[in-house]
Amino acid sequence: MTQTMPLLIAPSLLSADFARLGEEVAAIEQAGADWLHLDVMDGHFVPNISFGPAVIAALRPHTKLPFDVHLMIEPVDPYLEAFAKAGADHITVHAEAGPHLHRSLQAIRALGVKAGVSLCPATPPEMLSQVLDMVDLILVMSVNPGFGGQKFLSSQTHKIRTLRQMINDSGYPIKLAVDGGIDAETAPQAVAAGADVLIAGSAVYGKTDRAAAIRALRTAGAAS
Ligand SMILES: O=C(CO)[C@@H](O)[C@H](O)COP(=O)(O)O
């Protein structure tokens, strides 16, 4: 499939140097990123703990990039307001976290934030058929959530394709993001299947020249 939508690159802060987060955020804007992806992990929904709203609020003055906050936490509803106040532009929740996805999406939009929903590798795309009118972003996990640096699961390309079709059929302007194991080798598969946002941790923050890493992803995506 030829990419006709603008391809957005969202580096994941999870692979940044946590001792220098303010500088790492500013540097990625300079390097040409479109969004900053912030992975929030609770040690319960996923087997890792990252950071919470206080860190996000502290980083907000360091960049004008949209903050794409991915909540891998359960429960999620009690924390939505805190992440909106911290400066999130998008809040993505997991369909598997529950208890009521519809209610969570309503709450995110009521806070004036764009609403996203993410699917783990084992979750079928049809789970989203009843909420397409309520989402601005769908995030397909192409690894099991919890850690950076894992291998891209090619099995997820079929799901990306199905979701692209569902989005096009719906007529809603929903972004389709892919997250996990994205690099210049795997980006073409994700984009060819219909992704228009590439989230990448180690392939950007893991490199010394982040601008070159972002360009490499754009070039790879455009070549799909
Ligand atoms: O949400 C997650 C992991 O749970 C991702 O955002 C990873 O942080 C992506 O890292 P790489 O696979 O690109 O290194």
**ipTM exceeds 0.95, yes or no:** yes
Nearest to 89 by CA among 108, 61, 117: 108
| 2, pLDDT greater than 80 | no
91-109 pLDDT, tens digit each = 999 999 989 999 999 999 9
Q: Which fold has domain 8-222?
A: TIM Barrel (3.20.20)
Q: Residue holding tokens 């997250």?
A: 179
15-41 pLDDT, tens digit each = 999 999 999 999 999 999 999 999 999
Q: Where are the domains of the chain?
A: 8-222
The confidence score (pLDDT) of residue 4 equals: 63
Q: What is the 8-class DSSP label of residue 7?
A: P
Name the binding residues: 12, 37, 39, 70, 146-149, 179-181, 201-202
With a 6 A CB cut-off, is 11 part of the ligand 1 pocket?
Answer: no
With a 6 A CB cut-off, is 142 part of the ligand 1 pocket?
Answer: no
Distance 27 CA to ligand 1 centre (A): 19
| Distance of alpha carbon 65 from alpha carbon 30, whole angstroms | 10
Q: What is the 8-class DSSP label of residue 149?
A: S
pLDDT band with cut points at 50, 70 and 90 for residue 133:
very high
- Sequence-distant (6+) residues with CB within 8 A of 12 are 37, 38, 39, 148, 179, 199, 200, 201, 204, 205
